[in-house]
Amino acid sequence: MSGVFGKCFDPTGATWGVPTFPWKFAPEGYATRRQLRAKGLRPGGQPVAAQVMRRSRRRKSGVSVAYLYRIELAKPVRPMTSRRVGALALAMLARRTCPVCRVVYSCCLPTSLGMCLLCHESASARALHLGGQP
């Protein structure tokens, strides 16, 4: 057994507290949140049943973890109500509306700027112009 595989293989949960498996080696009956959602299910308040791990150079800890839930304990997804549809539509409208010029765009505005690109460019040009004068 390789060193990486050995660190990630802990079916009893002695090392990590929950049963741990290497990436793509989880036994049948477990699924991630996304896999549950693709089947029309949700965890439904159940605790994490297991986890899968793999090495990752992007993470500070050096490993990437995905939590697994039992499929037989999962509950069906709640149906979308008309109120929830309306709330989501308003939230998406707010993400597409510039707070400075109040123009509604067809795509979501960048959250890093907090406004549309035209308003950001004019604000930065104004700041440069005012900052350049003594």
> Mean pLDDT of residues grouped by 10 in the chain (134 residues)?
62 83 90 96 95 81 88 95 97 96 95 93 83 53
Q: What is the pLDDT of residue 134?
A: 45
Query: In Å, what is the CA distance from 29 to each residue of 26, 65, 102, 126?
Result: 9, 18, 50, 60
Q: Residue 82 contacts by C-beta under 8 Å, 6 or more apart in sequence?
A: none
Phi, psi dihedrals of residue 59, rounded to the nearest 5°: -85, 145
| CB-CB contact of 87 with 66 (8 Å) | no
Instruction: Tell me the pTM.
Output: 0.66
Q: Which two tokens stand for residue 29?
A: 């009956």
Q: What is the pLDDT of residue 72?
A: 96
| CB-CB contact of 13 with 37 (8 Å) | no
Q: What is the pLDDT of residue 88?
A: 97
Cα first-last separation, the chain: 70
